[in-house]
Structure 1
Amino acid sequence: MSLWNRYLAPGFRALRRDWRSGELVLLAISLLIAAAAISSVGFLSDRVSKALDRSSAQMLGGDLALSSDEPVDESILNRAAELGLESSSYRVLSSMASTDTGMGLVSLKAVDPSYPLRGELLLRQEGSRQGTRAVGGPGPGKVWIDPQLTGLLGIDVGDLISLGESSFAVDAVISYEPDRGVQFINVAPRVMMRLDDLPATGLLGPASRVRDVVKFAGPEAQLQAFESWLEPRLEPGQRLSHPGEARPEIQRSLNRAYQFLTLVALLTVVISAVAVALASRRFSRRHRDSVAVMRCIGAGKRQLAVMFVTELVVLAILAASVGVVLAYGIQAGVTGLVSSLLDVGLPQPSWTPALHGYVASLLILVGFVLPPLSSLYRVPPMRVLRQSRDEWEPRKWVAYGAGMVSFYLLAWGISADARMSAWVTGGFAGGLLVFYGVAYVVIRGLGAVASTLHHASLFRFALRGMVRRPGLATTQVCALGVGLTVMLLLTLTRIDLLDGWRGTLPDDAPNTFLINIQPEQREAVTDTLVDAGLRIQEPAPMIRGRLVQINDQPVDAARYEDERAQRMVEREFNLSHMPALPSSNTLVSGRWLDPSANEVSLETGLAKTLQIGLGDSLTFDVAGQLVRVVVTSLREVKWDSFDVNFFALISPAALSGAPATYITSFYMPPQLAHLNRQLLGEFPNLTVVDVGAILGHVRRIIEQAIVAVQILFLFTLAAGIQVLAAAFAATRDERIHEVAVLRVLGAAARRLRLTQFIELVSLGALSGVLAAFVSIVLAQVLADRVFEFSLGWPWWPWFAGIGGGVLISWLGGRLALRGVLQTPAQRLLREAA
């Protein structure tokens, strides 16, 4: 007999037979919703993530940047043009600028007319903090300047400024430059000119230190093809940059946005898996008798196993196909709404979420359908003659353990975040254990309560009914509890977690940095700002130093493969000392600095990049003096707080006598924008860095992600409703059988209805209490361990959990048992048999 006839054909026949009889409808719907929910979340989150990436590209000035110590070869630009990419080039160098009133060092940036490809260059406009958008770059013979130069050189719009061998007219003052990083080393005021005008200045001599940069923009597929072509051709001194890389404050917000979107997808996986598990449990119980009959007529265990696996795999593939198509239609239908809410066009999604839908359907099948069926093909033939209760089998728990592994792999594949996947998987498994253990103990304890209710026969009857069948009641509580937990956690995500994230960036977050404050100016500058009504951070010293040794071994950039590590060891660091750990820093390991010792506290990212750990010794060259310090702590820095922060904080004793300038940050309200000009007039050496545009961009990222999560919440809510429906459908047969027996024994319909009401309300209340507790604990863990901000202890989940549990349990029970009490007892017994 062929493989098809012996093993596969029976599976297809079983699929057709069970579908016609309605046995597979609930399981198919559950698998379909699992694939549809995961794929729809994936499609929309993929599009929103791409939109956020595009939004962050505005901070880079393009979708991809190539910087080089030498002019970029023309073949690179030609290849980009062949792929349909836009490109924009500029050159950056330091130069002396002079006017009739003085001279100073400036950072000269020569741009082509297409600069910037992404984002907006804003020019100052009187009465407006944001400024007006610049188009086409400076005109021939004209320059745009930083506001700092108006005070430093005493010039303004219409004046002349000399650069090299040429003079230029100041045409405008720059309000915001999208791709200028907030670097506090060698900060020089910007002068922007036309790229064609640069040769006339005579500044491009053989010894000139010019940095050439080309920005590229275009569709994602073409960008990936171009990057794949370019990377192997990169020469020494050339580097590719992507959106968010140069802005830790932007990257942190982007990461959080992706984490929130991913969390919704993972919770969809949880709730879909529960729905499938409940449906498969009912399928398994209803097939035991038919399997026993097949065993009696000679069907082997292997043949039965292959038959069921074939049947369910084909079902999963078909359900996933319908689910993926449905998911694509759903996300396409809400694209217009999302685009209008996010105020940004959404790129087309990739087909990766469709693959996730198929993989999710199959992995959920393996993890949550096959375990209940693992004992089905071992049903003894004697079951035809003797009905026996299910016995506990160790292999079942092994199978469910494999199911949790499948769940983790699925979560990891969707999120690409091992830590978040572990927390969600662990929370899921732990929640199930808590639900099962507590529910079983409570239901067993209800027997003692029932014995005391001598005058409340209905309550005694309902409680004893639950005690007589603890397995059924416990299953009901677990199913309801998990469904309510996910729904409460989603609501917590939508409300409290998102509000907590929004609270990390308050309305009065610092939007202005003031640097190059000289020690003798510190008090005067502080008084000026305070007198203006501003609340400023205590100015922190900023001392330049170069890392020259690690553990007494000379630092060599060549020993690092990572480009960021190479750049960091080649540049000068900003060192500082503070009396206490800054509020936007968290001590991850070690202890805080001893002010009288030679110690250093490093930011965790820097320590990881340079492969430095606790106890290592570092030697810095500070103004020609070697300063040796020991690493005593590692800090996690919240760069998106926009407070004054440093990669390296050193004990005051180690930096005693080192030349320092000071830096502070503060919130500058729009009505005091003129204060910047006043400061530069009084203290021309100061550098004012306005990060208001960056701050606004971070806020837009937060708001966009919040809108996206709220929309995705609706998709997962639909899956949650399915889980609750499956919870009652999974116990329908047992309840029908119980009602039938009680009807035969003479129980009145009214008494059964009231008893059922009391039981459902009790189970719903217990499920709600457990769900509220677990959802709050999980939200706390996610806020602390994943999203890294504090979350209070909300009270509303307790009321929502209990009230929702009671309402859903009662409505679900009524719907699941609709018409049962009016059905003749003989028919009920036949249906439940």
Structure 2
Amino acid sequence: MMLGLAWRMLKRELRAGELRLLFVALCIAVAAVSAVGFLADRVGRTLELEARQMLGADLVLVADQSIDEAFVREAQARGLRAVRTLVFPSMVFADGRAQLVEIKAVGSAYPLRGQLRLAAQVDGEDQAVAGGPSAGSVWGDARLFGLLALTPGAKVGVGELQLPAAGVLTQEPDRSFNLFSVAPRLMMHIDDVPASGLIQFGARVRYRLLLAGSDPALAGWREWAESRLDRGQRLEGIADARPEVRNALDKAQRFLGLATLLTVILSAIAVALAARRYMQRHLDACAVLRCLGTTQGGLLRLHVLGFLMMTLLATLLGVLLGFAAHFALVSAMSGLLGAQLPMPGSGPVLEGLLVAAVLLFGFAVPPLLQLARVPTLRVLRRELGPPAPLAVIGYLFGFLLLAVLIVRAAGDLRLGLLAVGGFVGALALFWGIAWLAVGLAGRLRGGAGFGWRQGLATLARHGAANTLKVVALGIGLMALLLLGVTRLELVEAWQKSVPADAPNRFVINIQQDQRQAVADWLAGQGIAAELAPMVRARLLSVNERPISAADFPEDDRAQRLIEREFNLSWRADLPTGNELVSGRWFSGKAGEASVEAGLAKTLGIALGDRLVFSVAGVEKPVEVTSLRKLDWDSMRVNFFVLTPPGVLEDAPASYITSFHLNAAQRPAAARLVEEFPNLTVIDIDAILAQIQSVVGQVVAAVQVVFLFTLAAGAVVLYAALLSAIDERRFELAVMRALGARRDQLRAAMLVELAAVGALAGLIAALGAAVVGQLLARQVFQLDPVFSWTSPLLAAVLCALATTLAGWLGMHRLLAVPPLAALRQGA
């Protein structure tokens, strides 16, 4: 019986419009969260499916020294398939031409996952092949064929061997992007490596052991191997596949998470305002039901059941809208995600239901608690307001749930916690400013016309209600400004993080005896370039304490840094794009070193620490005398560790440089390689274009989610204005009955609306500027310069929009005859 009554009540309230606002707010929140959820679910499933193919295996052991045969024997004993690969740079020769390439030597079973594809000739049709090249032959990619002018079957000098080029390699599953490993690829059989004589002492070789098999066997082998890993060895699983794609998607998810969580916050405000209005308009009906014998528990169950059914309907509609909207997100990011994505699972549906439940129980049920406690005496004494808000505890519980929801919606713990902290801080600050401003308005009534005096008097007389409206509108407008104005600043800062004249060519492998000749050649071409020495070294100890990856069990980045070799350099002056954050620059003291501040923070290095590096087997002790902040986005050559001259010069070194080529200068890169065949010129124009493409796709996706935020903001504005209409109807009728003219009341209403809108717009602009700076610096690692003009102009426009919207909603009250309004309010 109660269920049927609740359903009939819900249908009546929806037809009458009492619950439409709350229904729309729930739909918008669910749609925004589920749209981003569907996208994230599909992307996650895609990466999971493709990660194993991108690795070429299920698990990979990577090392900078030869891998012990015990690892292979243990894998085979557990029923795993295993294959070795070697990757190293070397020169190859063909018909008098020389080219630095990255050689990959593979076993016959390679790859264990994914596909190799081979074409008979450049631009020819390729096909999948079962394994790598057979012993006695090599494959090259199209770039190598072009640089060496190879034809199928042509001999290629690989060390001491002459091997025929048997095909053009078009697809390699585990070839990841690395700025300093984008030389042309040559693939050979691993059995040919000893005879080639290419691997000598000091050679830079990456050893990899690829494994594939059942998940339990892999897990067992991994547990066995982790305790036996040496320095420079690490395991890579599917979570590490394609980090460049994951990094781009992580930043995209943060932007989308920002838009989503602001939509949830706005929807929570709208739900709270709509539920409060519903409570105020149903006090009389509930008082009558109490007189007819309905208990408090019965009233509460009746309304909660109705709201539950409405929430289920809103969730269903919101999920459908989100599912439709996520196709727009997929389309906006199609270049980043690829064409084929599996369909999503049911996870986003549950997330949408969770959002609706949090908004319902956190912000709609507390006012219902007040309805259930309405006194029966209200039937006779209409002036009795709602019961004391015992629901404060309910609102507090709702806020805690909302905080958890915000963190989930953000997709990033730091972003979510900053959003929660910003929301709480903004709420407290806005409430304080609004309360003081509304109170002050009551003291500024003299010396002006009736409209001004009455408008400010009404503003102060309804201080609590107007403070609530200012805070609600301020939070809503701040969210819109944050995405509508500061969002543009964030995106612009991201896009400008790579300058237009940033270096787009890197040149590596410049030998010491070529340094001056290369510098003179570049200068003769009008190319400004600085050649920097580069020495590879491994960090051994800090303050005489040996350091290893085991010292950082919870920090994956620190472990990777410790396991890898660092690129060190020396120079006397502070490089361009470097800024000292602590310490002093080199003073001429022996054994000084300057360390990048981020690296120092990650590894716990401080000023005055003594570091020992191993450089070609020779230990080099240095003392940290300064920490530097680097502009990595400048695309210049940067180094984690710098020393003054006199510390590293006796170590084997090569030189590296970067410079910018405009369209007219681009042929110079090919002439440089012709002049110095051993050099490798890395063209990163395509990389820069890809970065800009990713930014553009993310911006387009944010625009889609921003539509939900706009809709939620419109609901907040409408809900605030509806509550004002309810409060003013009876009051205006009394004033008209006492002789006030319509033009006087119109002026008073406009003054009140303008004051509320201007105050809300001003505090929203200030809040958006502060929160935008915080998000840019702490979450997105950007350094934007926010202009105060844009937020303040937006605040003025918001005040005008609020006044106009309020007037359009409230001017009809002046046309209602005073007697009718008094009877309705009586």
- Residue 607 of structure 1 deviates from its aligned partner by 5.3
Aligned residue among 311, 318, 323 for 1:323:
318
Q: How much does 1:808 deviate?
A: 3.6
Equivalence map 1:336-485=2 (5 Å): 339=334, 344=339, 347-386=342-381, 399-453=394-448, 456-485=449-478
Residues 1:554 and 2:546 are matched in the alignment = yes
Q: 1:540 aligns with which of 510, 532, 535?
A: 532
Contact 2:489-2:786 at 8 Å conserved across structures: no
Alignment of 1:704-715 (within 5 A): 704-715=697-708
Cα offset, 1:299, TM superposition = 6.1
- Per-residue deviation, residues 621-680 of structure 1 (Å, max 9, x unmatched): 234543334556666656454332233344656546555433222223354343334333
Q: What does 1:207-356 align with in structure 2 at a 5 Å threshold?
A: 211=207, 230-234=218-222, 236=225, 239-242=235-238, 252-292=247-287, 308-332=303-327, 339=334, 344=339, 347-356=342-351
Question: How many Å separate the matches in 1 of 2:697 and 2:239?
Answer: 17
Q: Which moved more, 1:362-371 or 1:232-241?
A: 232-241
- Kindly indicate whether the alpha-carbon contact (under 8 Å) linking 2:57 and 2:112 is maintained by their aligned counterparts in 1: no
Report percent identity of matched pairs: 36
- More displaced, 461-470 or 174-183? 174-183
The aligned counterpart of 1:777 is: 770
TM-score by length of 2: 0.80
Q: 1:612 to 1:384 in 2, by over 3 A?
A: farther
Alpha-carbon distance, 1:503 to partner: 0.7
Q: Corresponding residue for 1:723?
A: 716
The verdict on how the C-alpha distance between 1:212 and 1:204 changes in structure 2, with shifts beyond 3 A counting, is farther
Please name the residue that 2:760 is paired with. 767
Amino acid at match of 1:544: R
Q: 2 CA distance for matches of 1:431 and 1:563?
A: 35
Q: Is this contact kept in 2: 1:146–1:174, CA < 8 A? A: yes
Deviation at 1:720, TM superposition (A): 1.9
Equivalent-residue separation in structure 2 for 1:49 and 1:807 (angstroms): 41
Question: Relative to structure 2, which stretch is displaced further, 775-784 or 22-31?
Answer: 22-31
In the alignment, structure 2 segments of 5+ residues that lack a partner are: 226-232
Shift of the 173–477 alpha-carbon distance from structure 1 to 2, 3 Å rule, reads same
- CA deviation map 1:160-206 (0-9, x unaligned): 3233675235699999999355376xx796551365xx65676599x
C-alpha displacement of 1:324: 1.4
1:826 to 789, 805, 819: 819
SS at match of 1:449: coil
Q: Displacement, 1:501?
A: 0.7
Q: Deviations over 1:39-75 (max 9, x none)?
A: 2343346557878x69998996879774565798999
Partner in structure 1 of residue 689 of structure 2: 696
Shift of the 245–575 alpha-carbon distance from structure 1 to 2, 3 Å rule, reads farther
2:25 maps to which residue? 30
- From the superposition, tell whether residues 437 and 564 of structure 1 become closer, same or farther in structure 2 (CA, over 3 Å): closer
Conserved? CA contact 1:35–1:361, under 8 Å: yes
1:810 alignment counterpart: 804
1:742 counterpart residue number: 735
Does 291-300 or 540-549 show the bigger shift? 291-300
Residue deviations 1:753-773 (CA, integer Å, cap 9, x gap) = 343334323332332222222
Distance 1:499 1:584 in 2: 20
The alignment partner of 1:450 has SS state of coil
Structure 1 CA distance, aligned partners of 2:97 and 2:333?
53
Q: CA deviation at 1:714?
A: 1.9
Residues 723 and 558 from structure 1, CA distance in 2 versus in 1: closer, same or farther, beyond 3 angstroms?
A: closer
Residues 602 and 351 of structure 1: CA distance in aligned 2, closer, same or farther (over 3 Å) = farther
Deviation at 1:361, TM superposition (A): 1.3
Distance 1:651 1:9, change over 3 A: farther
Partners of 2:720 and 2:117 in 1: CA distance: 53
Describe the shift of the 1:478–1:559 C-alpha distance in structure 2 as closer, same or farther (beyond 3 A): closer
Structure 2 match to 1:798: 792
Q: Is the 8 A contact 1:89 1:115 kept in 2?
A: no
Q: CA deviation at 1:542?
A: 1.6
Paired residue for 1:496?
489
Cα distance in 2 between the residues matched to 1:798 and 1:461: 28
Matches of 2:719 and 2:217, distance apart in 1:
51
Instruction: Report the CA distance between 1:300 and its aligned residue.
Output: 6.0
- Shift in Å, 1:91: 5.5
- Determine which of 494, 506, 510 is the counterpart of 2:503: 510
Corresponding letter in the other structure for 1:514: V
Amino acid at match of 1:796: S
- 5+ long unaligned stretches in structure 1: 82-86, 126-130, 217-224
Provide the rounded CA distance (Å) in 2 between the counterparts of 1:405 and 1:579.
55
Q: CA RMSD in A?
A: 5.0
Which shifted more, 502-511 or 17-26? Answer: 17-26
CA deviations on 1:587-616 (whole Å, 9 max, x unpaired) are 7x7545554364555556655765656665
Deviations 1:754-803 (A, max 9, x none): 43334323332332222222222222222222212222233233223312
Distance in 2 (alpha carbons) for counterparts of 1:246 and 1:199: 29
CA distance in 1 between partners of 2:385 and 2:528 (Å): 70
Deviates more, 1:24-33 or 1:748-757: 748-757
Q: Contact 2:116–2:171 at 8 Å: present in 1 too?
A: no
1:270-311 CA deviation, whole Å, 9 max, x = no partner? Answer: 211111111121122223344555566676666655555554
Please state whether the residue corresponding to 1:452 is helix, strand or coil.
coil
Structure 2 counterpart of 1:179, which letter? R
Q: 1:668 to 1:438 in 2, by over 3 A?
A: same
State how far apart, in whole Å, the 2-side matches of 1:728 and 1:275 are.
Answer: 11
The one-letter code matched in structure 1 to 2:804 is W
Aligned partners of 2:114, 2:386: CA distance in 1, in Å?
Answer: 68
Contact 1:264 / 1:712 at 8 angstroms: preserved in 2?
Answer: yes
User: What is the rounded CA distance, in whole Å, between the counterparts of 1:171 and 1:98 in structure 2?
Assistant: 16
Deviations 1:323-357 (A, max 9, x none): 21232233347755764898845553343322221
Q: Deviations over 1:106-147 (max 9, x none)?
A: 64225799999699999999xxxxx99987799985543798
- 2 CA distance for matches of 1:230 and 1:33? 44
CA displacement at 1:721 relative to structure 2? 1.7
**Which residue identity is paired with 2:493?**
G
Aligned to 1:676, which of 669, 687, 700? 669
Whether the aligned pair in 2 keeps the contact of 1:157 and 1:172 (CA below 8 Å) is no
TM-score (norm. length: structure 1): 0.79
Alignment-mate amino acid for residue 621 of structure 2: R
CA distance in 2, matches of 1:314, 1:688: 65
Give the whole-Å Cα distance in 1 for the aligned partners of 2:621 and 2:335: 56
Q: Could you say which residue in structure 1 is the equivalent of 2:229?
A: none
In the alignment, what sits opposite 2:230?
A: none
Matching of residue 179 in structure 1 with residue 147 in structure 2:
no
CA–CA distance in 2 between the matches of 1:250 and 1:314? 42
Distance 2:217 2:35 in 1: 33
Paired residues of 2:139 and 2:188 also in contact (CA < 8 A):
yes
Change (3 A) 1:650 1:813: farther
- For 1:182, the aligned partner's letter is N
SS at match of 2:444: helix
In the alignment, the residues of structure 1 paired with residue 821 and residue 191 of structure 2 have an alpha-carbon distance, to the nearest angstrom, of 94
Distance 1:405 1:796 in 2: 33
Contact 2:105/2:193 (<8 A) preserved: no
Q: Give the 3 Å change call, closer, same or farther, for CA 39–532 of structure 1 in structure 2.
A: same
- TM superposition shift of 1:451: 0.8
Question: Equivalent residue of 1:774, what SS?
Answer: helix
AA aligned to 2:654 is: T
